Every structure is written in C-alpha cells, then in structure tokens.
Structure 1
Amino acid sequence: MDPHTRRCGRRRRLALAAGLLPALLLAAPGPALAQAAARYPDKPIRLIVPFAVGGTSDVFARLVGQKLSTAFGQQVVVENRPGANGNIGTDIVAKAEPDGYTLLFAADGTMVINPSLYEKLPFNVERDLAPVSRVVLVPLIIVANPQLKASTLPELVALGKRADADLDFSSAGLGSTGHLAGELLKSRTGIRMSHVAYKGGGQAVTDVVGGQVPLLVTALATADPFIKSGKLKAIAMTSGKRAAGAPGIPTVAEGGVPGFDVSSWYGILAPARTPAPVIEKLHAELARILQADDVRRRFQELGGEPIGDTPQAFAGVIKDDLAKWARIVKDAGISVQ
C-alpha cells in the first residue's frame, strides 16, 4: 500500500472515531446515572426555601423535610435563602448541580408571578427547573391587628371607602400571591389601601401583630397561631370555600364579593437535567408521604390540602398559571424595576 493510501485510510479511521465519540460520550453515563439513582440519596439533601424563617413556605418545608429525612435515612437540611421575592434562593437551585441533592421548596408567587413582574430574571422557570410535585394548596387569609376598627369584610370595605381612609396591607413580598389577592380585593370593592412589601410572611406577621401595619394577606399556616392566641383577628379567607382547618372563618365571597377565589400552592422542584430516575424517586416518596393520614391532618390544621401530583401535571399547572397571572399583573399595572 502506497503512503498516500495509508494516509487516507488513517484519516478516514480518525474521522470515524471522531464521529462516534459524541455518541459514546452520551451513552457512557447511562449505567453510571442508573447506579447513582439507585443509590440516591446517599448523602444529605439541601432543601432551599427562598423566603425567611417562619413564613408559610418555611413551615411546610420543615414538615416535609422531616418526613423525607425519615424516609430516606438521610438528613434533609432546610436552608432559608430569602431575598428579591424568592428569586435569590430560586436562582441558587436553578444553577446547582443537577444531581438531586439541591432542591427548591417553591411558592407559586416566585414561579408563576415573578416572570411577569420582573423585566429580567436570572433564571427561566420552565427551562432551568424540573418539577417534582406540588406539595400543598393553601388558601390565603386576610387578618388584622386587633385594634383595627373592622372585624368582618363588610366592615373593612366600609372603613376603606371612607374619605379619610389610609389603610396599609402587607404581604410576603411585592408580587406575591398575597399582594395580588389584596390588589384584586381593591379592584373588586373600591377599598383604598396601600401595599407594604416584606421579604417573607414571618416578618410581615410580626409587624401586623406589633401594630406597625394594620392588615395582612397571608397563608393560614402563617397566621393561625396568632389568630388562636388573639394577637391577630381573622377577617376572611380568600379561597372559594372555607378552609377545612378553619371552618369558622367566612370567605371573601361570603362577605359580599361573589366569585372571589385566590389560593397559593407550594411545591418541590430540582435543577433542570436532574436524572429522571431521581425525579421519579423523589416524586414517589413525596406522594407516599402526602397520602399519610397524619400528614393530611397536620396540613389541614395549618389550612392546607396536600397534593402530590406528578411532575408532568405540575409542569402543566406552571404553564397555565404563568399565563393566568400575566393577565392579572398587567391589569393591576404592577411592575418591579
């Protein structure tokens, strides 16, 4: 064989090898990923809560984290990373290693409202995060400092319509579900009140209890201990029906605003590209936990209903809610610079 022919043959072999290399690289991790998923989890898991300690997401995250720790035999460490209405903690998870050891306990406000509020986010919800399961559906509640001269929704609306009305209401953050529920109440009733944003439901509750702000729209889980102790008074639930955990508190619709229905959901997501077997294992364990009678009772005591839907169903909810809240944010004229 002449030298030219040998050189051509060598080039063809190198080209063939180069062409096969990407396929080999893609195929090679398969068994390794399967083995890693089979062992998962074999070290502690970080569950990032993108809001402050004491808020609704924190309360439910710690309940679920404790159950997952027991189920997996590995510690699930709840880590609060508040700021920018949940964007800071969410971005940490979006950029984390996609191995199932950094998870997000997300609120709907960050996932499906923030994309309409902020001109630019450091993450894309549908591209950078993988849904595992919604955990709980939580109706919101309007609560007030006991000194406020209104104890029912009709009394609050009458107070807020007075010429000298100067009411403030707080929420877990600008653009949160509580904030938009308050804005929707304003538009439906003509009540005059201004929003005061906080970095989490815990601090918002503290300031309403202390009298710095008269009103708060938050989840029942956050406000319930203060209602029972008399430090806050319940005005109305924002959900379409009364909460199982607080059947004595009427809804906004019952108070004269027909069709009013706003609730929040909380769920767990992982970084995009987390192996499907890991997502499936997490979902299966969450679904089992959320079906347990003791968990259901505890969630209902806190004003929530456990969900445990599939990753595919959760992705569908996110898609639909992104469109729904985009319309509401536009109509309310809310934006964040």
Structure 2
Amino acid sequence: MKKLSEQLNQPIVVENKPGAGAVLAYNELLRSKPDGYTLTTGSNITSLLNLLNSKLPFDAATDLVPVAPLASVPIVLIAGSKVPARNVAELISYVKENPGVNYGTPGPATPHHLAGVLLASMAGMQLTHVGYRGTAPAVQDVIGGHLPLAIVGLSTAIQFTRSGQLKVLGVGSAKRSELAPEIPTLAEGGVNGYDASYWYDVCVAKDVPKTVVGRLHGEVTKALQDIQVRTSLTAAGLEPMAVTQEQYQRMLQLERAKWEPIIRAHHIEMGS
C-alpha cells in the first residue's frame, strides 16, 4: 500500500471490515461514491459469492468490478504421520481402499474446500470434508493425528513440513510454487490437469469509470514490480501477480466456468 500511495500521490487508509465472509467490506464499498477512491480486496472466486451465499444483499458478479490481481496464495494437501501415503498416487490408492477419509479446511465454501471437492472428483476419491474455523486448528489436528488430511495455505504448512511433523503431498496450483519449488504439484502426482489456484485481487464498485479502473490497474501492476513490494509479499507466503487487463478478464472467465458447475453440483454454501 505504501508504494501505491507514493505512485498515486494519495494517502491510503486501510479499514479492516472482517466478518460475514467479507460481506461487510463489500457493503461498505458499494455504499461509497463510485469514483475509484474506495477499493477492497477480493479474490478469483468473488464473482461466485452469490452461489456460495444465497443471502447476499448484492450481485457480486455485476456489482463488483475486479481491477487487478495482487498475489497468489499457494494451497497444499497435507497428511499426518498415520497416513501411509508418501505421495498423491499412494494417497489415491489408500483412499480407494478406505473411502470417506476426512480432510480439513479453514472452513466451508472456502477456496480450500472447493479445491478438495475438485481433487476428489478428478481423482475418483471419496473424501469427507471437515470445516474448521481457520487454518491453524486444522493443521494442529493433522499434526496431532486427529485428522488424516487437510488442504491449507503453504505458508502455514511449510514450517511443519520441514520439521518433519507432517507431509505435504502436493501443491494445488498448475505450476510449482516459487516459495517451495521442491514440492510437486498435485497434477504431477497423478491428477492430470488439476489446478486449484487461489489469489487475491483489488475490486471497485460497478459504476467506477473504466478510465479510472484502467489507471488503477496500471498503478497496481507497476507497484507489484517493485523489489521491496515483491520481497514483502513473498516473505508473507504470497506470490506477486501481474497481468494485463485483458489477460485478467480471461482468467476470471475461466475460473467461473470451472467453479460454478462444481459449486452447483455439490451444493456448496457458506455455513454448510
């Protein structure tokens, strides 16, 4: 934010609006004047929020306009010491012999939950989802042997992996993470074509002029090229992203085409 503030020659004030699955933050954005001076962070599944939460007071697909991606959040499949699998192929065999194996995530309708549903479907496994309130308790239950598997953020899991307290069977993105290139992707492990990438972006309200959206996209993308910004993001377990507006629109179209049928088919909803 500091770099972006310098480029725009404008102070940036961060207001945290947690709760209700970011609904409070989005409501604040939509109540603001649509001049581009109020922004919020979203993600690649923001446009799907109405499918995940039928009680939303707005239409996320049309009322929120994505400006630019910020950084990807690598997610990984982890296993406890009691799970005999050392890799994805062995895990698939294990689950097929023991259908219904539990896997934890930071909560229902999170990108991690969607990633688990996609994995089970593509690998032909029967997995049972257990939604936690956050990443830490899920990881601790895997380490303690109370939970066989979990899908969580790489930045949280990696410290326990390197200490030998749990196993990382694969990273969920299409390519290996720059943060831990030694970890193979789930696709490399045998789930061909698997990609459950997750990233943060910046959003504005729908009536913000396109010229302003274009200016903001350019400034955000420029800020992400700064070495100090990139270093700060990678230290936090995030991988900086920078693409053109056209590329980003296409990426979001592909994301919606992939996740919408999965959400509908499995009746995934916040709080479920």
Q: Pick from 28, 36, 40 the counterpart of residue 104 of structure 1.
A: 40
| Residue of structure 2 in register with 1:136 after alignment | 71
RMSD between aligned residues: 3.2
Equivalent-residue separation in structure 2 for 1:112 and 1:206 (angstroms): 32
Scaled by the length of structure 1, the TM-score of the pair is 0.67
Matches within 5 A, 1:1-337: 65-69=1-5, 71=7, 72=9, 74-77=11-14, 79=16, 81-84=18-21, 86-109=22-45, 111-163=46-98, 167-201=101-135, 204-209=138-143, 211-276=145-210, 278-297=212-231, 299=233, 304-311=238-245, 313-335=247-269
Question: Deviation of residue 66 (structure 1)?
Answer: 4.8
Scaled by the length of structure 2, the TM-score of the pair is 0.80
Structure of higher RCO (CA pairs closer than 8 Å, 6+ residues apart): 2
What SS does the corresponding residue of 1:274 show, helix, strand or coil? coil
Task: Answer whether contact 1:66 1:76 (CA < 8 A) is retained.
Answer: no
Change (3 A) 1:191 1:297: same
Question: Deviation of residue 287 (structure 1)?
Answer: 1.2
Equivalent-residue separation in structure 2 for 1:231 and 1:96 (angstroms): 47
- Higher percent of residues as helix: 1
What SS does the corresponding residue of 1:250 show, helix, strand or coil? coil
Change (3 A) 1:315 1:251: closer
Task: Answer whether contact 1:220 1:302 (CA < 8 A) is retained.
Answer: no
Change (3 A) 1:200 1:132: farther
How many pairs align? 270
Equivalent-residue separation in structure 2 for 1:288 and 1:189 (angstroms): 39
Task: Answer whether contact 2:48 2:60 (CA < 8 A) is retained.
Answer: no
Equivalent-residue separation in structure 2 for 1:79 and 1:89 (angstroms): 8
What SS does the corresponding residue of 2:112 show, helix, strand or coil? helix
Equivalent-residue separation in structure 1 for 2:246 and 2:60 (angstroms): 15
Task: Answer whether contact 1:246 1:303 (CA < 8 A) is retained.
Answer: no
Question: Deviation of residue 202 (structure 1)?
Answer: 5.0
Change (3 A) 1:199 1:137: same
Unaligned segments of structure 1, at least 5 residues: 1-64
Question: Deviation of residue 297 (structure 1)?
Answer: 5.0
Question: Deviation of residue 125 (structure 1)?
Answer: 2.1
Deviations 1:254-304 (A, max 9, x none): 222222222112101122323556534433331112112344455456665
Change (3 A) 1:250 1:269: same
Tell me the amino acid that sits aligned with residue 85 of structure 2: A
| Residue of structure 2 in register with 1:58 after alignment | none
